């Protein structure tokens, strides 16, 4: 399944990029994220609770160009199934804001396949919108 998103955030690309690399902020912004622990350079272990089920996974940052772009490689497994995603994110200045554009490919397995692609796509878009709303709030309340 292909996902696309665009968002304007109330800060410079440098501030948005730095915020995207802050595990405590990301944990607060990712719905159901119980922990996000750095395990190596640009690599994190994550524990999530999704619809009452626990999932464990990894998030790896690759192809990073500070304040310009990054690629996230996400893998997770749990009772509801498995998820693998690669998401390319681009940041560009837009006045006193940052325009953030993302494109990704998500593959699901296990019980999640039975949910159906339209419902999964809708759920993914809702989670992305929720993440960016929370990220925007985090940036706004941090004094930027």
DSSP-assigned letters across all residues of 30-44: STTEEEEEEEETTEE
Give the residue among 46, 93, 86, 47 at the shortest CA–CA distance from 70.
86
pLDDT (tens digit, 9 = 90+) per residue, 25-77? 888 988 888 999 999 988 999 998 877 778 899 989 899 999 999 998 888 89
d(CA 24, CA 33): 10
Residue 100's domain is classified under what CATH number?
Answer: 3.30.530.20
Instruction: Find out whether 46 and 36 touch, Cβ atoms under 8 Å.
Output: yes
Q: How many domains does the chain have?
A: 1
CB atoms near residue 59 (< 10 Å): 21
d(CA 107, CA 73): 12
Position 112 pLDDT exceeds 70 = no
Which range of residues forms the domain containing residue 76?
Answer: 2-141
- 6's tokens: 């665009």
Query: What's the pLDDT at 144?
Result: 43
CA-to-CA separations, 20 to 13, 68, 89, 108, in angstroms, rounded? 10, 12, 11, 24
User: Mean per-residue pLDDT for 70-91?
Assistant: 87
d(CA 11, CA 83): 31
User: Mean per-residue pLDDT for 115-132?
Assistant: 72
pTM of the model: 0.82
């Amino acid at each position: 399944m292909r996902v696309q998103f665009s968002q304007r955030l109330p800060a410079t690309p440098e501030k948005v990029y730095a915020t995207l690399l802050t595990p405590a902020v990301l944990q607060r912004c990712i719905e159901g994220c119980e922990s996000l622990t750095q395990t190596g350079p640009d690599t994190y272990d994550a524990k999530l609770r999704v619809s009452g089920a626990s999932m464990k996974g990894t998030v790896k940052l690759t192809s990073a160009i500070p304040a310009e772009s990054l690629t996230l490689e996400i893998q997770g497994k749990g009772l509801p199934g498995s998820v693998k995603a690669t998401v390319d994110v681009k940041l560009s200045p837009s006045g006193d804001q940052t325009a953030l554009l993302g494109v990704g490919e998500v593959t699901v397995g296990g019980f999640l396949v039975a949910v159906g692609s339209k419902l999964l796509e809708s759920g993914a878009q809702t989670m992305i919108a929720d993440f960016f709303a929370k990220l925007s709030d985090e940036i706004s309340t941090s004094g930027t």
